[in-house]
Amino acid sequence: MRVSTLLLLCCLGAVPLTVTAAAGDSIQGIPVIDRLDVESLESGKLHRLYFESVEMGSGQRWYVPVMVAKGAKPGRRVLLVAGVHGDELTPVATVHEVFRKLDPTKLAGSVIGIVGINRPGIEYVTRTWPIKNLGTTWINPNRVFPGKETGNSVERQAWLVMEKLVKGNVDVAVDMHTGGNGADFALFIFAYAGDAESLALADLFPVDQIKRDPGLEGTFEYALVKAGIPALTLELGGPRGYEPDMVKAGVEGIDNVLAHYGVTGQKVGRTAATVNAFRGNALVDVVADTGGFVEYLVELNDAVKEGQPLAIQRNAFGDLVQEYTAPAAGRVAIRGTDAIRERGSDIATILTNQPDCPPEGCPYPGYE
């Protein structure tokens, strides 16, 4: 059933029209759309949709779950994103928990949740998106936004998300991530310093650490702010599983966002100021100089001094081969979890304040 048929049936009173651009199909009873138009959705209801996105090698399509809690009254439209990296699952639980609590009949505005932009990554619990071309190339999908209409599959996926889901439907956005395999992230925000509202958005979250950041080209956050949508990147612990404390913290911050913009009518609770979040302008990596077995001497969010021991490394015979120390004073933002570290792999990352950084902060090309 195509759009024209749906429109005709709607006018005849046979089918309620819920979207203006539908692919005309359904999957397990959930409507399939090829474009989202929040304005056309029925107010005061929760809408579950499948977004028909880029085709696979077989020509079949990937379908991305989209939820829209359309408020009974008009207001700001807040986007929550999980699954740009397919192994980052605590953000998925966070989106689910936010939506469990929402009552669209009491909202002024809308909350939009996208779960699993990186569809193959979600299916195979991997950070990257596989491209089949003379073998398999694994691409970080958070380096290709805003995408390309005529690009490869992951580039086109990013373009479709920006052009068919986001633009015209979103006023403010929270893109959620975690550390990658073998490393955990603190409760942390990358706050884009080029936009005052994005910085203010970060202040609504009672997180451990906030980095003043110049943005990184290719990330979803950067594409959003460049499209005029205030946004931030929220890091919630480690990959592959649910971390209940991180879910709770993420939900608390998002509740504040919805309260701040008048979506829920609630009051703002604890904020970054309340918990005295540590703020920095640079992330400094400590990487392994050799291979071996690592014993970590610090935990996430520990305050460290310059020169403080972070980890020791032993060879297969148990001999001490290397000691690693903090290159600067600050907080442990990222810490390895795997005991084995080969040459060049990350041991830890410190959020610090460097006087030679520009006002917008030093760039960091790592985990976003």
Q: List, for residues 222-256, the tens digit of each pLDDT value.
A: 999 999 999 999 999 999 999 999 999 999 999 99
Are 338 and 182 a contacting pair, CB within 8 Å?
yes
DSSP 8-state secondary structure symbol assigned to residue 104: G
Which tokens is 63 given? 């379908």
Give this prediction's pTM. Answer: 0.92
* Closest residue by Cα to residue 203 from 274, 267, 262, 300: 274
Domains and CATH numbers, the chain: 3-260 (3.40.630.10), 282-352 (2.40.50.100)
- 130-178 per-position pLDDT tens digit: 998 888 999 999 999 999 999 999 999 999 999 999 999 999 999 999 9
pLDDT of residue 354: 97
> What pLDDT score was predicted for residue 366?
78
pLDDT at 21: 55
> Positive or negative CA dihedral for 238, 242, 245, 249?
positive
What DSSP state is assigned to residue 42? P
Question: What token pair was written down for 49?
Answer: 């949709």
User: How many residues does the structure list for the chain?
Assistant: 368
Pairing mode, strands 61-70 and 45-55: antiparallel
Please name the amino acid found at residue 4. S
Residue in the block written with tokens 């703002």 = 268
Residue 284 pLDDT: 97
Q: Which residues of the chain have pLDDT under 70?
A: 1-23, 367-368
Instruction: For residue 249, give the H/E element and its range.
Output: helix 244-260
Please tell me the predicted confidence (pLDDT) of residue 22: 56
Q: Which residues contact residue 268 at a Cβ distance below 8 angstroms, ignoring those fewer than 6 apart? A: 204, 256, 259, 260
Q: Residue 341 has which token pair?
A: 């570290």
**Cis geometry, peptide bond prior to residue 244 (ω within 30 degrees of 0):** no
Contact present, 112 and 57 (Cβ < 8 Å): no
Cα 50 from Cα 167, distance rounded (Å): 17
Instruction: Determine the pLDDT at residue 189.
Output: 98
Three-state secondary structure call for residue 142: helix
Structure tokens at 75: 């207001």
Q: In this predicted structure, what is the pLDDT of residue 152?
A: 96
